[in-house]
Amino acid sequence: MPLVPKKMETRRLHNSDMKKLVRILRGTPYPFSSSKDKAYRQNAKESIHSLPRRLRSSHLSFSSSTTTSNLCSTHKGLDANLIAEIYAWLRHELDGAIGKFLYPLIMSGVLTHTQELKMRQLEPARQMWQHDFQADLSAPPGRQAIQCGDKWSYQVDQCAACILARIGSDEGVLFALFAGMVGRMKDKASGMDVLRGIVGMEKVKSKRLRFVRYWVKAASRGGENAVFEAGELGLKMKGLRHEWKVQQRRLRDGKNLQPAPKPNMPRQSHETESAGRLFTDAESVIGIDITVPYQPKEWSPLNAHDPKLGPNPRPSNAIPLSPAALLGFGIPGFRDSDPHSPHAESESKPPLARPPSTSSDTTIHPGSSISVAHLRPPPLRPQKPPKMQEALVEKYRAMLAAHSNAYASHPIYEEEEDGDDDASSGNDLPKPRPTSMYESFGNTGFDDDKFEGVDEEVEEIEEEDGEDVGEWRAPQTPNVATYRRPSVASASTGWDGLY
């Protein structure tokens, strides 16, 4: 069957493909040296030639002449469509996506001086594709521009691979790029572990973020440590950004104001004497004018008890000498019975009947006056049958799911369902300069998720050597016309022919 050629995209990249690409898209010499530049271009051509076929240019691809012409002679062996797409979503991050996320954090002063300088390394990198770039207008209001000389000078041939290689050669820019993408992207894309409060770098779901992660590891001397530090900074900025937005919403909705006082209730007649005093709920108002100190403990009863009538009455707080349980009253013991237990009725024993007395009226026996219940413990509750293993597994799964949801619903990590309202939240902040990377802040027309489809997983069909060649186009309906019924003479009459 014929193969349908397809366009190479970021979402079709495997992890091994990303590692091979980032080794090529780095290592440009700075400051410029003719000998170093010649060695770099020679190594780049050899590395491109050793790439898998799916990552190299092909005459069967859908690459247009305009896209192919943007690659220089050094990088013309790369797949033009793939490089153009990587360059497109990378420019989207530097032209507005990260700046929109970062601007209120810088202007509100929640970042430290070191953190702010690390993230602002992205500002001069846009000079490579902006012909009218001005360094003084690239900084936020009230900040000094980042001085880097001619390191990010304009790329004359506008080769997308050369621009990517220059970005991949700077550790500071890659660090800020990865931290900004972790901070602004959703948790499900960045693979954030909300239970531990760190970023799970080994489980990054976003193809764009995964590509930059391999880029940081290849270009940084710290390797995995640099990836972790950048991810940790991005996670911290994510929390600070959410706290800032919550504060702005409270200011906008007036939730920070004091609650209005309750309306004054009409006063009662006994409140007229204290008109100049304001009573609170915790105070009690007495409607009697007391002139003598109120000391009821010193009062004496009107009629004293006559000792000739007998002893004093028993006080109400006196402790009885005989426990009430021994007198036959239905007082529960130490273990209350289960009302649903089948033995519940047998646990409550009525008082025993008075045994017959054969003694005279003058003889007093313990059993002749009242009945005494035998002291015996109530029967034990019946043991419940143990739960099946499947039921226990489902129970613990539900508990773990509830535990994870409790962490995921934390206000720092929860996703914003009502959309981005930076235009209304940042009214108290100065407007960013129109030519800076922060110009998208407050712009409702800027699409943050423009390249979200790049992160979608695609199932590939591979050859035996492991290289993806294309998609098979299978017929939708079977070809009935080519089917022929076997003749009777050639048919077998055995039992095997019937099945």
340-375 residue pLDDT tens: 544 444 444 555 555 555 555 555 555 444 555 556
Helix axes 80-92, 160-167, angle to 10 degrees: 50
pLDDT of residue 32: 85
Tell me if 10 sits within 8 A of 82, measured CB to CB. yes
Q: Would the pLDDT of 490 be above 50? A: no
Look at residue 21 in the predicted model and tell me its pLDDT: 97
Cα separation, 432 vs 435, whole angstroms: 9
- What is the C-alpha to C-alpha distance for residues 241 and 244, in angstroms, rounded to an integer? 5
More confident residue, 413 or 218: 218
pTM for the predicted model, two decimal places = 0.61
Per-residue pLDDT tens for 312-344?
777 777 766 666 555 555 555 444 445 554 444
On the CB side of 370, how many CA atoms lie within 13 Å of its CA?
11
List pLDDT tens digits, range 55-90: 998 755 544 444 445 899 999 999 999 999 999 999
Q: How far apart are CA 439 and CA 459, in angstroms?
A: 38
Cα–Cα distance between 416 and 235 in angstroms, integer? Answer: 16
Q: 251: which 2 tokens? A: 């200011």
pLDDT at 252: 82
Q: What is the mean pLDDT of residues 288-314?
A: 61
Rounded alpha-carbon distances, angstroms, from residue 495 to 488, 492, 499: 15, 8, 7
Task: Give the pLDDT of residue 299.
Answer: 54
The tokens of 457 are what?
Answer: 């997983």
